[in-house]
Structure 1
């Protein structure tokens, strides 16, 4: 029996919510340095493990895209119809906003927490970059990291891959790797829905910069889809 659109929509919404809540939550709630924080490695693994967990929870329902860049890349690669991708993207953005909202409610329970100061794990460049990397550096990083991320996804989920049962693990670990390198640059997006949710609630400069974390991942994903379809997988 074919999975209904409502089930797929719900799966993508919930999956993206979990990704934002757990990934960004690791930075906001548990990311402080020292004995009480998980640090950069912990945040990196939180994002990757969120994808692994959701891949095995909802992968059989919707494919666990939980990322507009993935859905658009699948359309370009011929693995998905544009109409289906459209409602996936709506679900993902809503899920990202809900995840950021839940994180805000939890974080606000600590008296010292300030949305303006502590944020919600939003992405940024220049003054909003964790280590003050420029817009130019941030755009390059997001395009290349998304390109790599999508190559792993295409390869891991290919029907020619005899180890397809481990796709969720490979994809999640690749996201860990990307975050280890990329967190100092932009905080790592590679996912417009992950960036839109926190930016909307934080507002101000974070919202003003979110365009970069919509465009760059989409460019990287599109390039990856073209390379995969016409260069790597072509018979």
Structure 2
């Protein structure tokens, strides 16, 4: 037996022992790791921009880092869990039937845990963070550092305005990503799905971040908020701005429901039935390989039209 065969055999034994056979556990592991990667990229970029006082990047750097993290995370765990990485997305998929309702809570907990762990890698920036504010970890003030990890409202923003901001942002997210794998519409190529979703999130970040950071993801905000609570910033991360912490939790959830319902009412319910859609695709393919006159072709197309526009 060669050394290569022996090493492969030992690796197969390790794989057999460590392989998780419970589907739900595998999916939760995927969501944990995926959300970990998302926050690792985003929080590291935010720390770099903040502590360098924007000499090593700016707002666009943070937005793009989050999107690269999102894209990488989707490629990483998409085949295992679907790469939701966001309780609002998981809720939306439950509503439209792409995810079982019994998986919503485990998915959401896994996403929060992954976000907590991802933000905990701030340890690589701890010296810069401590130097930024003379060794103090503060939530408010000109040299606060809590916003490296979580979102907070602008000083001018009202509670109603911030809530509406998060609802609209999350609804927009779902309206843009739900059609991407809808086979009866114009689905995106499977291999490009993470790239397109990342581009959508980048667009939302660049257009809707002014008010309160465009979290549009309860796990992305709540996981790091729990981390800052335990890492030395204290309970002020929950009590500041009149207990504003609940807005990035509740508003994106409502936004997911609103966006999903709009998609269903305006788009999905008006798409062809799946069986008729398959028949139509077959018929159109048959037409394309037949040599027929233009007149006969147009008559044949009209005769099999399953959803005439009138």
Higher RCO (Cα < 8 Å, 6 or more apart): 1
Q: 2:59 aligns with which of 24, 27, 40?
A: 40
Q: Does 1:5 align with 2:5?
A: no
> How far, CA to CA, are the matches of 2:107 and 2:27 in structure 1?
8
Secondary structure of the residue that 1:186 maps to in structure 2?
coil
Note the C-alpha offset of 1:132. Answer: 4.1
Note the C-alpha offset of 1:135. Answer: 2.2
> How far, CA to CA, are the matches of 2:209 and 2:114 in structure 1?
22
Segment of structure 1 superposing worse, 59-68 or 193-202: 193-202
Q: What pairs with 1:96-175 in structure 2 (closer than 5 Å)?
A: 96-103=115-122, 105-110=123-128, 111-113=130-132, 114-116=136-138, 117-119=144-146, 120-125=148-153, 129=154, 132-160=156-184, 161-165=186-190, 166-175=192-201
Radius of gyration: which is bigger? 2
Note the C-alpha offset of 1:3. Answer: 8.0
Note the C-alpha offset of 1:75. Answer: 0.7
Which runs of no fewer than 5 residues in structure 2 stay unpaired? 1-20, 139-143, 230-234, 271-310
RMSD: 2.0
Secondary structure of the residue that 1:112 maps to in structure 2?
helix
Report the counterpart of residue 291 of structure 2 in structure 1.
none
Note the C-alpha offset of 1:214. Answer: 0.5
Q: Contact between 1:40 and 1:183, CA under 8 Å: does it hold in 2?
A: no
> How far, CA to CA, are the matches of 1:6 and 1:85 in structure 2?
13
Q: Does 1:215 align with 2:250?
A: yes
> How far, CA to CA, are the matches of 2:30 and 2:149 in structure 1?
23
Deviant stretches of 4+, over 6 Å: none
Segment of structure 1 superposing worse, 71-80 or 114-123: 114-123
Report the counterpart of residue 96 of structure 2 in structure 1.
77
Report the counterpart of residue 185 of structure 1 in structure 2.
211
Secondary structure of the residue that 1:96 maps to in structure 2?
helix
> How far, CA to CA, are the matches of 1:79 and 1:17 in structure 2?
23
Question: TM-score normalized by structure 2?
Answer: 0.68
Q: Does 1:58 align with 2:80?
A: no
Report the counterpart of residue 92 of structure 1 in structure 2.
111
> How far, CA to CA, are the matches of 1:187 and 1:65 in structure 2?
20
Note the C-alpha offset of 1:24. Answer: 2.4
Q: Contact between 2:169 and 2:216, CA under 8 Å: does it hold in 1?
A: yes
Cα deviations by residue, 1:79-138 (Å, 9 ceiling, x for unpaired): 1111112211110011111112222x222133414432212331112xxx3x64332222
